[in-house]
Structure 1
């Protein structure tokens, strides 16, 4: 390992006793011996200082480590047959759950997934190549491990066909609520090992492991308890959650080709729980390719590792590659949901949290925040100022004003966004680019698309509020696409015509507006930040029915209060 200010070289030494000890070279000694020391060769070491090893960071179990400085002497010697070239002390993946972190472990497992390598620039300006693989073993647990440099650049074929990987020196740390591994350059990766541990894992995979790939418990995922669907309205996105629900819909498996030429299979299922809500979740590869019979008869499912994002104002759920799927799990949450479904939930009206999804049991689809009751604009302002954590609100209001000028200066309404696909994703970058089309995030000139960024004022009978409004919501409020706004502005007197069109939208139609509010600090002063994430024309029929239901409930309570005691 090399640090920017000082050279540091870390090695593992193994002698004929079979014990390993870590050794560290600093400064000039690291520069002197970095090129001459080669893995697998024998050397004599003199002049080292023995120190206590730091627990958790040592790559072997030895309680001490050796420090070599400029006065140390290291000389290559003839090969000694009694000294093994390498030594593994394997742990099962399940055992990592009980280890104090950070920890260093040796693992043997089957490579069940391998992402394509990608290159990025580190904080100190270095180009790094990384690849993530997922391995599983007989404990029915799996873990995500990051490979770096030449190991990450191995061909995709090296990881295809479920090979057994023996890894030495995997550094395990906590990452976003889970436990993830990283193999440093000093570690060892062997994809063709003949060790007994590798043969044992291979025999297990051939016998039963390959059939259980969809039920491995990935320890790299957040170990969080199941959340009911109603509680999703209050979490900050994106998030990784655990869900328990009943499969109420299941689409057939479909296959598509990604931009890198790889074919992937997916299946969409819709799950519901006793909150009366439903959510669409995408399954991938082996989990999607399970027989249709597994999803028949509305089984309950445990989904651990569902990546939740906001998409078109609703939820988008996707079971991650290392996610966990179990049918009819033996747990209290599953029993409760099954009882609700069997006792009337199957015929109840369900509301979908996923945008653009089909109605469930006759209910119309809804946005993510529609699980909450609509509030007035005055209440929106008050609750936004009191919100410590980000909260989602729904308001029924009209567009009152768009800030087109500020201190007599024309305010831009449209900006150019980068459309290059992000590394490790299928989504575009969408960062603002310079006037000549250069994206600082992607560090290159890229294809662009127009996007709206507006400051809008909404009003109802109780008052008004200013909201920062981005692309999708802005298009709904203006009734214009970003491309139409951009084209209009380029015409002679186009800006004046665009402002006139916008003004005709003022107070025209009531809109259902979803607002994400939180308290932020600017220059030491706390103030509310309100962002319009979604807007759509108000469904007057649905709104009218809800108001009539409220009136009927008020009359019922009034009649109850007037009854004689």
Structure 2
């Protein structure tokens, strides 16, 4: 065995020792080998959508169960670490779960991706297996517990890691649960709300909330009434605090967009102490989504975005249904994907925003809406940073100043594929086309959705595109008149139209054939060019136009479709509209099938 593949002998036994955890272990960087990975489905109790990975690690002598911190999930999903990979654990914590030590890996460095299995590691026996406890069977000859009751055992709590300045243990946010007591977390306040009040039949009150983050995750904390008076002024956004003696509850997802199945209830006796050691404390962790990929997200989902503020509307006021006056401001964000989207700010966020010099803004936890096709809005707990000091912002600024300021952007609208409805393609729910018809999807007044995989057999090209208005966000048909191409909606005339695809095509799978209606995004995916170009080709050379269309025929795609009953000229029929089209990705298809096989194997075991 080569020197670089030597594992840290005995580390699994030392970490698994529930009777003692040595301080020097917590600061060590052991070398281990991964034996297996298993995805743990998100819990339904907290409605969290974050996957977790249970892993088995080995030191060559024994193996130990561990969990991977969620921010490291991509290492498995991108296959950067695999079965039998060797890595150095650069940061970790140890928790006690069901009287067993659970290793939580927070940071690692890959040593070797693919090597043979080292040694013949075996399972560990609990070090205190022979010690009498409330849950163990007395040794032969010991007094019977029926005559002499044993003292009640204190509830076992996850161990605290000893702090460096005499401070007791610091728990990672990721490990908090309602079944723990006497914990302390060290976290940065990345968002602090205003104090809000309420009044209903049960009385009046006030509250505020904060979002806390450490290197393992984030959690929402809320204080009510007296806790507001005690704690609100002690907490400042951006600073790091030691927090303890708060109650851990199941998260109320209706009022929270923080990715954690639990949340904290701050009380009068909650202890909050500012921490000056901010080493390894993240400010804000983003998972950015390109603006062009907002179509992949469902209505009312939450996402992080980054973009250039291209336009800012003046501050306006409106009256809510409850009779309250609300301040509102809208930003238009653009990014390298070539799309523009509207972001709505409310309240103090709208009042305080300054959009001079077209800043870069990074938004965490924006709400996705289907208003206008795709749009975003800020929650009270959303976070927005202007010109943040992060690599993505610097790269975006450089691109925009060099080229992006001069280009035009595609605005979301209610017309065309993917607009209005958030239909998604689901491999697990693919329906044969014949079954779509026999089920009579869309035959009632209700709009129904389905996923299909089919091959394009024929495309009707008589009216492959229509002349549309050039105004961003407007896709209305324009008519040629004496002063050019006129849009009645915008009351404008243009020297030429902006063509947009609209066409039916016959698609087939093993079960049968169906006519699917395609719009602009579908045409661009099929033909690899905007509608303006294909119309120019058709007007210039019919043979070349026919070749372009023929190249699109005979290819299989994944479709997300909507079935809806329509009446035209007193005739009622069901129309199948393509909401999303995706080329076959054989890597993804293979991974999906492999996951199915693995889940089948786990179910059998």
Under a length normalisation based on structure 2, what TM-score does the superposition of the two structures give?
0.38
Under a length normalisation based on structure 1, what TM-score does the superposition of the two structures give?
0.40
